[in-house]
Chains A and B, each alone.
Chain A
Amino acid sequence: MKKSFIFIIFINFVLYLPGYFIHAQTSDERANNLFKEVRCLVCQGQTIHESNAELAEDLKIIIKEEITKGKSDEDIKQFLVDKYGDWILMTPPFDPYTYVLWLSPAIIILFGFGYIYYKSRKQLK
């Protein structure tokens, strides 16, 4: 019983592994994923993926061209940021301006867990 149990867990972890290998994306999929990352400049909080505005369509064409030129996703994003600023990307970058944004959730949760653990030890004594 115990052995078969461990075996099943082991098999599962081996089988999780394929998920690690990201399957090769077609350029259409790449373009679509990038569209979801790029904010539409003239719309209310939409990405260019969701928008049909003229400016959004223009950006889509630019991105597709950059992909055919063989640029990586990172290059394209950097190109857009240089041109329009951080604002254009849906995901904020990780830099001194956003340390608080990215790191504080971890600090908050650890603080709370620490407190709960501390209280449980203190009261049992």
Chain B
Amino acid sequence: MLHADRPTVSVAAGKGGTGKTLFATSLAVALNEVQPGQVQLIDCDVEEPNADILLHPQIAEREPVKVLVPEVDLDTCTRCGRCAQECQFSAIAVIRDAVLTFPDLCAACGVCAYVCPVGAIAEVERQVGIVERGMSPEGIHFVQGRLSVGDQRATPVTKATARMVDVNMISILDAPPGTACPMQESIESSDYCILVTEPTPFGLANLQDAVETCRRMELPCGVVINRDGIGTPGVTDYCTAEGIDILLRIPQDRSIAEAYARGETLAHSFPQWRDELVDVYDAVCKFLRSESTLTT
């Protein structure tokens, strides 16, 4: 689903701490300079959202995210145990005469209610997180998801957050680290995935996982190398061999780390980076246009 001339770009990485949020927020700020009020930043890292620290949005709306969990009518229940046998997450147990549900383990699949031979299980709503929307002082449309403290299953909240993509805007999705379900749920809403990595053997191993994930999802991807200049040439060699575009290199530079530690993006503290960041988005647009011409 190509979003016309304003493709939605996700920013992901096979591991945490590579610079996803630094890059995503910097890209949003730089693009907002050239297209004021037309940029949306969506923080899908619902377990630890932190883009707000750099963008300082005023949150105006909050919507709860709810999932369906089982509620057992103990008078109707025959204690047959079918629900516990079928549940793949051990979220329901029949221990002798007692029936227990563990909502934090529940994946909300509904199989317990489906297999119950006497209809003793109802599915009831349970809040697992929140989606917040607002605006940064410079006019970036801001969305972030937040998983409830103590809850383990991020995916429903990620999904609800990623659903806030406005196709009429330039949307940047900041994905959670890794390549598991929440990451996939985030990048699925995008037209192109930018993978941020460090040029180290560790960075390369995680990048390979992330590239493989994108390829299986048939999502085009490119690479941003952060802390360029350290490590080994492995990442560059891999990208060359695999035909993956290296969109930007952010050098290992103490002043960038210092600015980030003060809560500033690249685009805020180093205006010279703005053009390069805008160029990254333009390169992505150009690539997607050429792809769609090729396939149609």
Our verdict on whether A and B bind, yes or no, reads no
Which A residues lie at the B interface, using CB under 8 A?
none
Which B residues lie at the A interface, using CB under 8 A?
none
